[in-house]
Amino acid sequence: MSGPNGKIKVLVVDDSAIVRKILSETIALESDMEVVGTAPDPFVARDKILALQPDVLTLDIEMPRMDGLTFLKKLMKFHPMPVIVISSLTQSSCEISLEALRNGAVEVMGKPGGPYSIGELRDNLAQKLRAAAGARIARPRPVAAAAPPPIAAAIGRLRSDMIVAIGASTGGTEAIHDVLTKLPANIPGMVLTQHIPKQFSTSFAQRLNRVCPFEVKEAEDGDDVGPGRALLAPGDFHMVLRKLPSGYRVQIQDGPKVCYQRPAVDVMFGSVANAAKENAVGVLLTGMGADGAQGLLAMRNAGARTIAQNEATCVVYGMPREAVRMNAVDQVLGLDEIPNAILKLVGERAARMAG
């Protein structure tokens, strides 16, 4: 997907002239992409999409005449294409942005917040635009669809030292949602890392907690991990699993980015390899880049069982592909097969340990 000059064609949609200028100038710094147009509202955007045929759209949520979410729903119905939502960081806009991901948006990121964030904006925006340009566009979810009932599973006598670790990036919010809502209430302790902006991780954890039969929360430093609880790494912080005599606990850390990410899946998976060793299942879902592959290999080498999402069901088959290439994966599965596979592996390990 690119123009005649080989560049990714981007259309910027935002009611703020300042934001349109910042985004346009930031994108212009990249040699492999160009802004083919800008629009202050969805009505102008509609005409420019038809005229300019952009590869990727950046979309504001709060706009006059028609809000971004309404426009996104119409766009995905009549002219589906990769969309990155660029939103302000209020609680309500975070909720709406997550709803946009459910309705077909590929990525979400915060609006630029001043001159000191431009360097970080450039790195993040360019990476997300490249991922979006190559993304598989999913069909929007029915708004009123109820979560399916969790898979009935006899995990057996649950051991408190079992851990399930899941990592994801582009397309991961919906992939994680799809996996977790099919797991039963007595799932072993879970740790989750999703590449997501700081202000959005709280809303994401709250949304998962509402639809899952077990507790899901944004991790805080010192939180315990055990059966019936899943902890999500907070945006912009690494999450590390530690084993204590009393059980597992997480540490929330700052520190440098790993694979250009914070939180990084590699950091979490590496800590699970050290803390849980063979008493763990690692799952690497959709995402661009290589984050998680090295950590999944460490888990497998420590005796854990490992799963990667297959190409056909990934929004972006980057991170799982790298893990497969490194021989870090026991099973490559479609997204709908992963919940049962997790339960089967957990049950086998519990039975083995009980025997």
- Per-residue 3-state assignment (H helix, E strand, C coil) for 79-134: CCCCEEEEECCCHHHHHHHHHHHHCCCCEEEECCCCHHHHHHHHHHHHHHHHHHHC
As a whole number of angstroms, the distance between CA 281 and CA 284 comes to 10
The residues that are catalytic are: 169, 195, 291
pLDDT band for position 33 (cuts 50, 70, 90): very high
Q: Report the DSSP pairing between strands 238-244 and 229-232.
A: unpaired
The residue among 55, 142, 64, 49 whose CA lies nearest residue 106 is: 55
As a whole number of angstroms, the distance between CA 314 and CA 318 comes to 9
Which distant-in-sequence residues (6+ apart) come within 8 Å of 198 by Cβ?
110, 234, 235, 236, 237
Q: Report the DSSP pairing between strands 305-309 and 229-232.
A: unpaired
Q: What is the pTM of this model?
A: 0.91
Please determine, for residue 234, whether its predicted confidence score (pLDDT) is greater than 90. Answer: yes
Digit-coded pLDDT (tens) for 207-216: 999 999 999 9
pLDDT at position 122:
78
Report all structural domains of the chain as residue ranges with CATH numbers, in order of start.
Answer: 8-133 (3.40.50.2300), 163-354 (3.40.50.180)
Digit-coded pLDDT (tens) for 38-54: 999 999 999 999 999 99
Digit-coded pLDDT (tens) for 39-94: 999 999 999 999 999 999 999 998 888 999 999 999 999 999 999 999 876 777 88
pLDDT at position 2:
62
Q: Classify the C-alpha dihedral 174-178-184-187 as positive or negative.
A: negative
* Amino acid letter, residue 326: M
Given a contact cutoff of 8 angstroms between Cβ atoms, the answer to whether 18 and 40 are in contact is no
Digit-coded pLDDT (tens) for 267-319: 999 999 999 999 999 999 999 999 999 999 999 999 999 999 999 999 999 99
